[in-house]
Structure 1
């Protein structure tokens, strides 16, 4: 549902840049050793930043964090050759699935039910169908899209520890609105197991551990959805944040057709240009950013309250929208 998402930029405080100047903390933290490693995974840039360890220990933790990222690519990467999810989509069945798939599908099922079906991982065939037309510079009629829309239905996806099975031939799933967040959660856990207490995890969605190198809060900058190089402002992050934006993969210049799809209608939702969600777990924030984008502002607030989450968004008309508890100190 969300192919490539660089909606929130990390202020890692690792070089002589904005973060180190603007968010300096107490002197006791000023010389804390900091190590950062960046790369590409899940079709986007990723980066891990660790503070407070000796170099040997930090590098070992970074190795472990990236090993977990690569493992999850082999499980849930739609563009990773031979991945488990590609096998499932090709055959309609996956025996003895990796527990990571079960974890993500469990979250997906819960958000699907809580959102009244607005979140549905089985939109993948319709996404592929639309994308094939868009790449040819055209767009299908409702009649042409009917067969792809008929394949949507999370109720036709069955899963347990033994197998994941599609009840209908031709179905497929995408976990792109879960994988980035799930990876952030898993990597944060791996880093903690390696003695890391201060870190910033960016796997396309973000998770902060402890304090930055200067003793202050880690900061994120939220992108302006209509100006690629402009930011709406900054927000402190002490947990997990994820963003969905119509600009990440659009099929029309006016962003009316884009990669986020309402499974109930088959169309892209028309309320939000971008939504950022803070939740207890990054995988939940990831799913909710898409679900709130689909259901719109009013129903979105109800959904956020259900999960004890907070959100900040901008409508397609440019209006700022936020729940009461979202940290807006540096935002409009």
Structure 2
């Protein structure tokens, strides 16, 4: 690995703080606590359930793990999967049929792309591949050529170019490759939440590499979730999160590489073909994990000038952004949830949405 191509891999975007302690403090007596960890969707997923006996908790955790693995296997955009086979048929024939496991991606992902004005766009798979963000980054990672980027801007690929009639999808765009990575975790966590919420579990949390969803709450207390500092160790602050809410973050520090002294991250602007600029991170709290997931990416792409307008259009109340100038800017509803870390060397301010 050369000095100009140093790869930096960041840790988790959010840190779940003291979850077991919160439950113990809120409940009378020590509850049964059960955990399961698995590697899916390119990250470690931790499921923690409280208040179930062993003979009920362990089969339930196994069932949730099996569901997430099934979704991972079907939705992977680059390894052999139902989605890669769909993409190959679409590339060869200009048309492909949506089969069972793919329906949640299309039923939820495509409407969300439209709602964000295609700032979150599943159609940019070919762009992600050109940047090398489709697989494990290596010491040879480098930006696409200027010629490729000029051609992309002249002829961008977008999910807006898809025509759907029932389960049949058609497009005139050549080499269209769909990648739902910016919403797949949100959809999968929504499914897991729905299934867990239908059980007798006292409380639970599913943490997918920092993106998470809560199931009920520990007694009368809120969950306490730390927001990772984009550069330093520790957090910029702690959020209070209610029962049955999702917290999703997009940041420029999660997957990135350096080449010839420049840093490039994986959140790509479909219009420019280059990494989004102007914000370090965006955190969204919402009851719908899929919307929170897509919105976090869309607001990163919208950037410092447009994120508030896009958040208002998406009818979001709880949004926090971090700027390169070390400013944490939060909507009023989010600011009321935030306990800032005054040692984080950040400026905190509340901003209204239009």
TM over 0.5: yes
Q: Are 2:158 and 1:153 equivalent residues in the alignment?
A: yes
Taking the aligned partners of 2:168 and 2:10, their CA distance within structure 1 comes to 29
Runs of 4+ deviating beyond 4 Å? 132-135, 253-256
Partners of 1:62 and 1:191 within 8 A in 2: no
Match of 2:328 among 320, 327, 330: 320
Partner of 1:91: 89
Taking the aligned partners of 1:242 and 1:313, their CA distance within structure 2 comes to 12
Taking the aligned partners of 1:186 and 1:137, their CA distance within structure 2 comes to 35
Match of 1:13 among 16, 19, 25: 19
Q: CA offset at residue 237 of structure 1?
A: 1.6
Partner of 1:52: 51
**Paired residue secondary structure (1:177):** helix
The structure-2 alpha-carbon separation of the partners of 1:84 and 1:148, relative to structure 1 and needing over 3 Å to count, comes to: farther
Partner of 2:75: 76
Partners of 1:118 and 1:295 within 8 A in 2: yes
Partner of 1:234: 238
Describe the superposition over 1:242-291 as per-residue Cα deviations: whole angstroms up to 9, x where unpaired. 11011111133777521111111212121111111111211110000000
Taking the aligned partners of 1:87 and 1:106, their CA distance within structure 2 comes to 18
Partners of 2:189 and 2:289 within 8 A in 1: yes
Partner of 1:17: none
The structure-2 alpha-carbon separation of the partners of 1:158 and 1:10, relative to structure 1 and needing over 3 Å to count, comes to: farther
Describe the superposition over 1:104-125 as per-residue Cα deviations: whole angstroms up to 9, x where unpaired. 3344333433333322111111
Q: Are 2:277 and 1:270 equivalent residues in the alignment?
A: yes
**Paired residue secondary structure (1:252):** strand
Number of aligned positions between the proteins: 319
Taking the aligned partners of 1:110 and 1:5, their CA distance within structure 2 comes to 31
- The CA RMSD over aligned residues, in Å, is 2.7
Partner of 1:25: 25
Q: CA offset at residue 234 of structure 1?
A: 1.4
Partners of 2:77 and 2:178 within 8 A in 1: no
Partners of 1:235 and 1:330 within 8 A in 2: yes
Partners of 2:132 and 2:141 within 8 A in 1: no
Partner of 1:200: 205
- For structure 1, the residue ranges without an aligned partner over 5 or more in a row are 15-19
**Paired residue secondary structure (2:258):** coil
TM-score, with length taken from structure 1: 0.86
Partners of 2:31 and 2:50 within 8 A in 1: yes
Taking the aligned partners of 1:174 and 1:283, their CA distance within structure 2 comes to 15
Partners of 1:64 and 1:191 within 8 A in 2: no
Match of 2:266 among 259, 262, 280: 259
Q: CA offset at residue 179 of structure 1?
A: 0.7
TM-score, with length taken from structure 2: 0.81
**Paired residue secondary structure (1:308):** coil
Partners of 2:38 and 2:65 within 8 A in 1: no
Partner of 2:345: none
